[in-house]
Structures are given as C-alpha cells and as structure tokens.
C-alpha cells in the first residue's frame, strides 16, 4: 500500500525541508543535510508518484525548473559536480533532488546516499552555508519568473 493510500505521505503532510520558494504546483526546499549544505528538492505540491503521471507540458515546465536550479547552483557555488535524482522508493511522491557536490565533501565521488569516505572540512561547509542566502534569493526570483511565464502549472 502506498503512503498516499494510507494518508501518511510525508511530502503531502510536510514541506520536506526549509521552503525557499513555493508556487501553486511546486516548491523548492533546502534539504537541511549538514554534510551537503547545497542540497535542494523540487517537490510537486500535489501527490503524484511518477514523472510520467504529469502531463507533458508540466514535465517540461518542471524539468526547466530543475535546470534553472542546477544553473544557479553552478553559478553561485562553483561545485565540482551537480547530482540530479528522482527516486521516490521510500517516499513515492514526485520530487527532484538537485545537489551541489564538492571534491571535499564526505562522500565524494560516491552518491550522497553511499558510504562516507572522509569528514567534510568545516571551513568549506561554512563557506557554502554563508553563500546560501544570495543563492536562495536568486532561486526564488528566477523560479517566480519561470513559473509565471510557463502557465498555470506553476
């Protein structure tokens, strides 16, 4: 039985992180993962389990939003890599992970869900955290513009 069938879907009942931006159809949250300070989720506000459950126009709008988040992370954070993922095995509610990865992070080059290889250096984490407010202001502004141009599924 899916979480939505039991009324226990955590992404239907909670924000899933600190909200950076919200529209009628989507929200961007900061995941709050201490070891990965530039980890965001773009979450569909209504319960949808699979990417293919969305109409093509909404998929296009959402994929451009994921791309926008990636571009702004690259611009503001200069990471070594961006990881994109939509899994939903534990929480079958459509959401995209957009994660800036750095060569110094505790798991790099492993996935964030993989084995830790080292401790992340605190000065580097602090520098990323200090840059988040400017990044998030840019994210909110650009996502507002993107979804208002893209139609009603924003």
Per-residue tokens: 132: 């988040």
- How far is it, in rounded angstroms, from Cα 109 to Cα 103? 7
118 three-class SS: coil
Q: Could you give the percent of the chain with pLDDT greater than 90?
A: 87
Report pLDDT digits (tens) over 79-136: 999 999 998 888 999 999 999 999 999 999 999 999 999 999 999 999 999 999 999 9
Residue 3 has pLDDT above 70, yes or no: no
The overall longest dimension of the chain from CA atoms, in Å, is 45
Per-residue tokens: 65: 């939003």
Among candidate residues 71, 72, 134, 128, the one with its CA nearest the CA of residue 105: 128
Q: How many H-runs (helices) and E-runs (strands) does the chain carry?
A: 4, 5
Pick 152 or 29 by higher pLDDT: 29
Q: Is there a contact between 105 and 127 (Cβ–Cβ < 8 Å)?
A: no
Q: pTM score, two decimals?
A: 0.92
Angle between helices 122-150 and 56-77 (to 10 degrees): 150
> What are the angstrom distances between the C-alpha of 15 and each of 42, 95, 109, 114, 134?
11, 11, 29, 25, 22
């Amino acid at each position: 039985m899916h979480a939505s069938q039991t009324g226990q879907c955590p992404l239907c009942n909670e924000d899933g992180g600190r909200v950076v931006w919200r529209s009628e159809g989507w929200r961007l949250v900061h995941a709050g993962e201490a070891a990965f300070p530039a980890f965001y989720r773009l979450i569909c506000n209504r319960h949808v389990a699979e990417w293919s459950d969305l109409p093509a126009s909404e998929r296009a709008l959402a994929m451009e939003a994921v791309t926008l988040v990636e571009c702004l992370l690259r611009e503001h954070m200069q990471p070594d890599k961006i990881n994109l993922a939509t899994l939903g095995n534990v929480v079958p509610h459509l959401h995209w992970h957009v994660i800036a990865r750095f060569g110094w992070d505790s798991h790099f080059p492993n996935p964030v869900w993989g084995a830790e290889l080292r401790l992340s250096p605190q000065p580097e984490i602090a520098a990323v955290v200090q840059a988040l407010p400017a990044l998030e202001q840019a994210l909110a502004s650009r996502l507002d513009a993107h979804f208002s141009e893209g139609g009603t599924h924003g």
